[in-house]
Amino acid sequence: MKTNNIRRHLVQLVSTFITNPHVTNYTGGTIYKGQSKQLCTPGLNCYSCPAAGTACPIGALQAVENSNRYHISYYVMGFLLITGAFLGRFVCGFLCPFGFFQDLLHKLPVRKRSIPRRLDKILRYTKYLILAVFVIALPTALINEFGISEPYFCKLICPVGTIEAGLPLVIKNESLRAVIGILFDWKVILLAITVILSTMIYRPFCKYVCPLGAVYSLFNRFSVLQLEVDDNSCINCMKCETNCDMQVNVPDNINSTECIRCGKCRSICPTGAINWTVSGKIILHTGDAPRNQPPHA
């Protein structure tokens, strides 16, 4: 399991640097504005981050909704559909910089806590509500006399923009420090709450808040990339479910909307009964038993 974590974190680290290559911009407090900013990154990564080389799909979606010329971006919608159809929430587990940030926070030696199952189940729907209200409904409905709206999720909720863009830019730009107000204070408070909760609860932002995770979760059950449990090899030890940080019912619903496909269940399975598949064909099989035979055969 430790090897799986190291490999996954290495992929997360590489993905973070690929989407944020302009790290020298932090020293000057400037934002990269090159042509690549017209492209979206799969994970949640703020457009205004000084190091960002691409745009966040949620931010890009709202930017088009907010304009006085267009109110829907076929490019962003297509990007989300294609990414979700191929990968599902694999993006959350391997490619999202803020998911990586939460993973690192959860490794801190802080007492871990769990939310009661019934409350947890209810809270999981919050991210869909945020997607519907703050990403889609409000930017579309609340338009001023110039035909322009606000990016409500980015402006009022998203802690990613605060840590990647807001704080670095405010620190480096005196003019920005002179104009920050209660909204910035509110965003810093939300970031602080997210950071504290992430040390105690595994990925609270992903579980309860992230609208991008909500979008990708809709594709988990039928995306090209899947996880599969080989019933002939499974011995029902339930180690996969007991150790799942996202509380997925692995044996019965491994491709749940909540699965971020981190691969922990696969690495902990004693019989190698869990496999990666692409279009139904196994691409990585580490089972100890031959395919389609019980483990004791």
Q: Is the pLDDT of residue 13 over 90?
A: yes
Residues 120 and 241 grouped into a single domain: no
pLDDT at 268: 93
Is the pLDDT at 8 greater than 60? The verdict is yes
> Domain ends where: 181, 203, 218?
218
Is there a single domain that holds both residue 100 and residue 177? yes
Q: Please give the backbone phi and psi of residue 83, each rounded to the nearest 5 degrees, phi first.
A: -60, -45
Q: What is the mean pLDDT of residues 162-183?
A: 90
88 and 119 part of one domain: yes
- pLDDT-derived band at 67, boundaries 50, 70, 90: low
Neighbouring residues of 176: CB distance < 8 A, sequence distance ≥ 6? 169, 170
Question: How many structural domains compose the chain?
Answer: 2
User: Does one domain contain both 27 and 173?
Assistant: yes
Average pLDDT of span 196-217: 97
Report residue 276: phi and psi, to 5°. -85, 135
Tell me, yes or no, whether 294 lies in a domain: no
3-state secondary structure of 269: coil
| 29 is a domain residue | yes
Mark whether 74 and 199 lie in a shared domain: yes
Band of residue 64 on the pLDDT scale cut at 50, 70, 90: confident
Domain region containing 228: 224-288
| Range 210-214 average pLDDT | 97
Same domain, 179 and 50: yes
**What band does 294 get if pLDDT is binned at 50, 70 and 90?**
very low
Position 118 scores a pLDDT of 92
- How far apart, in whole angstroms, are the C-alpha atoms of residue 112 and residue 106? 8
Distance between CA atoms of 168 and 162, rounded to whole angstroms?
Answer: 8
pLDDT given for residue 66 in this prediction? 60
Q: Say yes or no: 61 and 110 in one domain.
A: yes
Q: Are residues 21 and 163 in the same domain?
A: yes
pLDDT greater than 80 at residue 210 = yes
- Per-residue tokens: 185: 């204070």
- φ/ψ (deg, to 5) at 46: -60, 135
Task: Give the pLDDT confidence of 71-118 residue by residue, as tens digits.
Answer: 567 888 999 999 999 999 999 999 999 999 999 999 999 999 989 999
Residues 73 and 11 in one domain: yes
- Cα–Cα distances (Å) from 78 to 10, 12, 15, in that order, read 28, 24, 21
Same domain? For 209 and 228 the reply is: no
Which residue do the tokens 């064909």 mark? Answer: 281
The rounded distance, in Å, linking the Cα atoms of 159 and 53 is: 19
CATH number of the domain at 231, please: 3.30.70
Q: How far apart are CA 237 and CA 295, in angstroms?
A: 13
Region 158-165: mean pLDDT is 94
Residues 153 and 247 in one domain: no
150 and 10 belong to one structural domain: yes
pLDDT band at 63 (very low <50, low <70, confident <90, very high): confident
pTM (two decimals): 0.89
